Amino acid sequence: MPPGLRPAPPVALSTASVYPESARAAFELAAELGYDGVELMVWTDPISQDVSAVAGLAERHDVPVLAVHAPCLAVTQRVWSADPIGRIRRSVAAAATLGCRTVVLHPPFRWQRRYAAQFADEVARAGEHAGVALAVENMFPIVRSGVRTVPYSPGFDPTEVGHAHYTLDLSHTAAAGCDALAMLDRMGGALSHVHLADGSGAPRDEHLVPGRGSQPCAEVCERLASSGFGGVVVVEISTRRCRTRPDRAALLAEALLFARLHLQPTAHPAPLPAVR
């Protein structure tokens, strides 16, 4: 690398990107395609819930786990624990065991009133002893029968609350109708993690291959590279309609190529703005 250039941010593959295949397939494809690591989505896949099995896959394929996505989806409310605080703490422990620095979290659902009251404090202190950053992800409203509702408390934009670390998800900015670059600015130097995907602007979470939708994926990547971003960029796309492994691999290879192209480092990085 020429003098004065910082290395490009690592590009990881979310294990959710190979659904309906398992986490095992994600490690195989990440190794085959040249990803720098994986983000472990902990969900209904039994392998994803077994930290020892995941560590074995990482060692076997020489593909490190670079982040853990806590089980906070609607379908994972009983994974590891029925207690959401317990799920946070177990996710932090898993990240520490697997040697990664980041746990990705969604804001609480509105019906989780006790959890919502505890969330900010728990996120602030949960990683203190383990050295793990808990990066809260931007979400999006739900539209049903023309009615728009926000299922998260206090909202879908975590910058309105203020956290020490954020995850920027570009499929979610599309579904929310948000300005992704403005959200990038609001997250500022607290941005720790990025989910790279795209969306058409339809009110649903599409997780398209970057470059196939309306989001400024290339500009976001270029701004990360120019700022000297020190986190991880994770390809989190949907390949569920792929009928074969080669079809899935082709989409994942396209997304990786997009990321590599637009994350090329610059000689004089300009820092992201401070959190406002």
* 131 conformational bin, left if phi > 0, alpha if psi -120 to 50, beta if neither: left
In what helix (H) or strand (E) does residue 86 lie, and over which residues does it extend? helix 84-98
Q: What's the whole-number average pLDDT of the chain?
A: 93
Can you list the pairs that 199-205 forms with residues at least 24 positions away whose Cβ atoms lie under 8 Å?
Answer: 199/170, 199/171, 199/172, 199/173, 199/174, 199/175, 200/174, 201/174, 201/177, 202/174, 202/175, 203/140, 203/141, 203/142, 203/143, 203/148, 203/175, 203/177, 204/143, 204/175, 205/140, 205/171, 205/172, 205/175
Q: What is the mean pLDDT of residues 32-38?
A: 98
Specify which residues 38 forms β-bridges with: 13, 65
Residues 82-121 have pLDDT tens digits of 999 999 999 999 999 999 999 999 999 999 999 999 999 9
Q: Which pair of tokens denotes residue 272?
A: 């992201």
Quick one: average pLDDT of 21-40? Answer: 98
Averaged pLDDT, 8-30: 97
pTM confidence score = 0.93
Query: Which of 128, 141, 196, 206 lies closest to 167 in space, CA to CA?
Result: 196
Q: Are 155 and 107 in contact (CB under 8 A)?
A: yes
In this predicted model, what pLDDT tens digit does every residue of 251-273 receive, in sequence order? 999 999 999 999 998 765 556 66
- For residue 158, whether the previous peptide bond is cis, meaning omega lies within 30 degrees of 0, is no
Q: Provide the pLDDT for residue 1.
A: 53
What is the phi/psi pair of residue 132, to 5°? -110, 130
Task: State both tokens at 184.
Answer: 């990038």
- The answer, yes or no, to whether residue 4 has pLDDT greater than 70, is no
Binned at pLDDT 50, 70 and 90, residue 2 comes out as low
* Residues sharing a CB contact under 8 Å with residue 125, sequence separation 6 or more, in sequence order: none
Residue 62 identity: D
Going by the DSSP 8-state scheme, the letter that residue 15 receives in this structure is G
Residue partners of 150: CB distance under 8 A and separation at least 6: 110, 141, 142, 156
| Model pLDDT, residue 6 | 76
% of the chain residues with pLDDT over 90? 83
pLDDT in tens, 177-225: 999 999 999 999 999 999 999 999 998 999 999 999 999 999 999 999 9
The pLDDT score that the predictor gives to residue 112 is: 94
Q: E strands, 106-231, where? A: 133-137, 142-144, 147-149, 166-169, 191-196
The one-letter code for the residue type at 220 is V
Distance (Å, whole) CA 243 – CA 222: 33
Closest alpha carbon to 13 in 196, 241, 247, 166: 196
Q: Tokens representing 274?
A: 């401070």
Give the residue extent of every domain in the chain: 11-262
Confidence of residue 129 (pLDDT cuts 50, 70, 90): low
108 near 74, Cβ under 8 Å?
no
234-244: per-residue pLDDT in tens?
999 999 999 99
Class of domain 11-262: alpha beta
